[in-house]
Amino acid sequence: MKAEYDFSKMKSRKNPYAAKLKKPVSMRLSEDVVEYFKGMANDAGVPYQSLINLYLRDCVMTHRKVQIAWPSTKT
Protein backbone atom coordinates (compact mmCIF):
# COMPACT_ATOMS: atom_id res chain seq x y z
CA MET A 1 0.00 0.00 0.00
CA LYS A 2 1.32 3.44 -0.88
CA ALA A 3 1.93 6.06 1.77
CA GLU A 4 0.14 8.65 -0.37
CA TYR A 5 -2.23 8.59 -3.34
CA ASP A 6 -2.65 11.23 -6.05
CA PHE A 7 -6.38 11.85 -6.63
CA SER A 8 -5.87 15.00 -8.72
CA LYS A 9 -6.22 13.12 -12.03
CA MET A 10 -9.39 11.24 -11.11
CA LYS A 11 -12.61 12.07 -12.92
CA SER A 12 -15.75 12.66 -10.91
CA ARG A 13 -18.90 10.66 -11.58
CA LYS A 14 -22.46 10.52 -10.34
CA ASN A 15 -23.36 8.41 -7.36
CA PRO A 16 -24.87 5.19 -8.83
CA TYR A 17 -26.94 4.72 -5.66
CA ALA A 18 -28.46 8.21 -5.64
CA ALA A 19 -31.78 6.94 -7.03
CA LYS A 20 -32.02 4.45 -4.15
CA LEU A 21 -31.46 6.95 -1.35
CA LYS A 22 -34.29 7.32 1.12
CA LYS A 23 -35.93 10.61 1.94
CA PRO A 24 -37.05 11.20 5.51
CA VAL A 25 -40.72 12.20 5.76
CA SER A 26 -43.15 12.82 8.58
CA MET A 27 -46.52 11.14 8.35
CA ARG A 28 -49.48 10.84 10.63
CA LEU A 29 -50.67 7.24 10.70
CA SER A 30 -53.44 5.71 12.75
CA GLU A 31 -52.26 3.80 15.81
CA ASP A 32 -53.88 0.60 14.57
CA VAL A 33 -52.01 0.86 11.25
CA VAL A 34 -48.68 1.32 13.00
CA GLU A 35 -49.39 -1.59 15.36
CA TYR A 36 -50.39 -3.79 12.41
CA PHE A 37 -47.10 -3.14 10.61
CA LYS A 38 -45.08 -3.43 13.83
CA GLY A 39 -46.61 -6.87 14.40
CA MET A 40 -45.89 -8.00 10.85
CA ALA A 41 -42.37 -6.56 11.06
CA ASN A 42 -41.73 -8.37 14.33
CA ASP A 43 -42.82 -11.67 12.76
CA ALA A 44 -40.62 -11.03 9.71
CA GLY A 45 -37.65 -9.79 11.75
CA VAL A 46 -37.36 -6.43 10.00
CA PRO A 47 -37.89 -2.85 11.19
CA TYR A 48 -41.50 -1.74 10.75
CA GLN A 49 -40.53 1.36 8.77
CA SER A 50 -38.66 -0.86 6.31
CA LEU A 51 -41.73 -3.06 6.01
CA ILE A 52 -43.96 -0.06 5.29
CA ASN A 53 -41.43 1.09 2.68
CA LEU A 54 -41.43 -2.37 1.07
CA TYR A 55 -45.23 -2.39 0.96
CA LEU A 56 -45.39 1.07 -0.60
CA ARG A 57 -42.64 0.12 -3.09
CA ASP A 58 -44.75 -2.90 -4.10
CA CYS A 59 -47.68 -0.54 -4.66
CA VAL A 60 -45.50 1.60 -6.91
CA MET A 61 -44.13 -1.36 -8.87
CA THR A 62 -47.59 -2.86 -9.47
CA HIS A 63 -49.20 0.54 -10.14
CA ARG A 64 -51.76 -0.21 -7.44
CA LYS A 65 -54.38 2.50 -7.07
CA VAL A 66 -56.50 3.03 -4.01
CA GLN A 67 -60.24 2.78 -4.59
CA ILE A 68 -62.21 5.03 -2.28
CA ALA A 69 -65.99 5.12 -2.29
CA TRP A 70 -67.08 8.22 -0.41
CA PRO A 71 -70.59 8.17 1.02
CA SER A 72 -73.08 10.09 -1.07
CA THR A 73 -74.25 13.38 0.43
CA LYS A 74 -77.41 13.52 -1.71
CA THR A 75 -80.68 13.09 0.17
Could you list the pLDDT tens digit for every one of the 75 residues in the chain? 788 888 888 888 888 887 778 888 999 999 999 999 999 999 999 999 999 999 999 999 999 999 999 888 776
Look up the pTM and report it: 0.64
Q: Where are the domains of the chain?
A: 29-61
Cβ proximity of 58 and 51 under 8 Å: no
Q: Are 39 and 51 in contact (CB under 8 A)?
A: no
Whole-number CA gyration radius for the chain: 22
